[in-house]
């Protein structure tokens, strides 16, 4: 089923042949890269590895450049053609929305903004992770370099210190360049996502031969740690809960590799996720008619619950690290009580009639890819 879903996605979005114009969207493509790597790992078929690498190239060639309907052209970074190919992420990456970005002089419209292009921080961190996974699978540090260059750029552009405060904050959405904020508020999980993703990249750099030539993210990590300090990560949004659980799974892996020591943050993540899960389950959203449901948000939760399964397995393999933390173990076991939600969500969206509903077809690409991730999540969940 995962193979079928991903080949369907590759064909529909112009990855398999030149006969269809490529249609790239950064969030979806980050999951897709991991899914193709998962299929390669599972089958040994080089076809899937090539698809992952081709998708990376397409994303950089399209979303690393200005839009065709823009007066600007070339790489977002402003680099020349040859240099831009060597550093395709150094200017950031567009979201891939259908509408062009809002200009600074244009009035803000919340509904329209959802359909406008620009740069989303939490999409960019997903792409950093995907590039890290490509680097790990291929052994080519170039992909990790691109991930770390992307981290450097977006951190400098998305974070700022308000004039009236000392506490650093973040913008949620930036312009395509990215030179000005399109949505100045801070995404709920964005600082946490950035903090752990930067740690992931830094850990990978330390494990690669010649890693000293890679960018250093120590300053960025310190900034994000400060933004995260004292915050609660609780939400009853299923996609947000799932994302928090996936981040917690990364923390377990960083612990196991000796790259992270903040047990307080880990406990906070588990507690916040449990509060959100119990609130979500108590409101019976999964019993709503299908036309009122968004598959990708539910599948985000399903992937997060898969992350809990992975966390528990990793913790049991390292009793020397985790047996001392009985409080953590009990929290993970409590979260596991919600694991049947995964089967409920996957079963519904695997059914043919469900994938003919408007709520599915309106977001077909992202739904398809995230369903595949939920069914075979290991590559996406691995550092």
Dihedral over Cα of 35, 36, 41, 42: its sign:
positive
Q: Where residue 293 falls among pLDDT bands split at 50, 70, 90?
A: very high
Distance CA 129, CA 377 (A): 14
Share of the chain above pLDDT 70, in %: 98
Query: pLDDT tens, 88-104?
Result: 999 999 999 999 999 99
N residues, the chain: 383
Burial class (CB in 10 A: 0-12, 13-18, 19+), 226: middle
Torsion of CA 301, 303, 309, 312, to 10 degrees: -80
Residues 258 and 316: beta-carbon distance below 8 Å: no
Residue-level pLDDT at 182? 98
Residues 192 and 247: beta-carbon distance below 8 Å: yes
Q: Is the pLDDT of residue 209 over 70?
A: no
Q: Is the pLDDT of residue 326 over 80?
A: no
Query: pLDDT tens, 345-360?
Result: 999 999 999 999 999 9
CA dist list (Å): 314 to 81, 274, 290, 291, 377: 44, 19, 35, 38, 15
Per the DSSP assignment, residues forming a β-bridge with 75 are 65
Residue-level pLDDT at 111? 94
Residues 75 and 65: beta-carbon distance below 8 Å: yes
Q: What angle do CA 67, 72, 77 make, to 5 degrees?
A: 85
pTM of the model: 0.97
Residues 208 and 214: beta-carbon distance below 8 Å: yes
Could you tell me the residue ranges of all domains in the chain?
Answer: 99-229, 232-383
Distance CA 94, CA 62 (A): 8
Question: Which stretches of the chain are DSSP H helices?
Answer: 2-12, 26-43, 46-63, 81-86, 110-113, 121-138, 141-158, 190-207, 218-228, 238-256, 263-282, 295-317, 319-322, 326-336, 340-350, 358-361, 364-375, 378-381
């Amino acid at each position: 089923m995962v193979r079928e879903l991903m080949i369907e996605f590759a064909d529909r979005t112009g990855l398999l042949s030149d006969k269809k114009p490529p249609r790239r969207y950064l969030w979806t493509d980050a999951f897709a890269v991991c899914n193709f790597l998962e299929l390669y790992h599972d089958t040994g078929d080089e076809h899937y590895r090539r698809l992952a690498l081709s998708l990376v190239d397409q994303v950089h060639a399209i979303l690393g450049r200005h839009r065709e309907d823009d007066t600007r052209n070339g790489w977002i970074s402003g680099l020349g053609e040859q240099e831009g190919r060597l550093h395709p992420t150094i200017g950031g990456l567009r979201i891939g929305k259908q509408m062009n970005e809002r200009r600074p002089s244009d009035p803000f419209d919340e509904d329209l903004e959802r359909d406008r292009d620009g740069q989303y921080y939490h999409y960019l961190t997903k792409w950093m992770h995907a590039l890290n996974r490509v680097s790990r699978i291929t052994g080519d540090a170039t992909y990790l370099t691109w991930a770390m260059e992307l981290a450097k750029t977006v951190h400098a552009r998305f974070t700022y210190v308000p004039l009236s405060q000392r506490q650093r904050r973040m913008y949620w959405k930036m312009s395509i360049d990215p030179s000005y904020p399109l949505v100045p508020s801070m995404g709920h999980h964005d600082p946490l996502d950035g903090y752990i993703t930067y740690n992931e990249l830094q850990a990978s750099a330390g494990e690669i031969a010649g890693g000293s030539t890679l960018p250093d993210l120590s300053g960025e990590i310190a900034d994000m740690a400060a933004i995260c300090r004292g915050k609660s990560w609780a939400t009853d949004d299923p996609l947000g809960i799932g994302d928090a659980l996936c981040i917690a799974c990364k923390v377990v892996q960083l612990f196991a590799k000796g790259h992270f020591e903040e047990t307080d943050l880990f406990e906070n993540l588990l507690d916040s996720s449990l509060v959100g899960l119990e609130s979500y389950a108590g409101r019976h959203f999964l019993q709503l008619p299908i036309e009122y449901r968004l598959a990708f948000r539910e599948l985000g939760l399903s992937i997060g619950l898969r992350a809990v399964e992975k966390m528990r397995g990793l913790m049991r393999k390292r009793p020397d690290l985790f047996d001392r933390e009985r409080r953590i173990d009990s929290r993970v076991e409590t979260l596991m009580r919600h694991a049947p939600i995964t089967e409920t969500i996957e079963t519904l969206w695997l059914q043919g009639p469900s994938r003919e509903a408007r709520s599915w077809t309106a977001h077909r690409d992202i739904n398809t890819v995230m369903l595949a991730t939920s069914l075979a999540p290991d590559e996406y969940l691995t550092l």
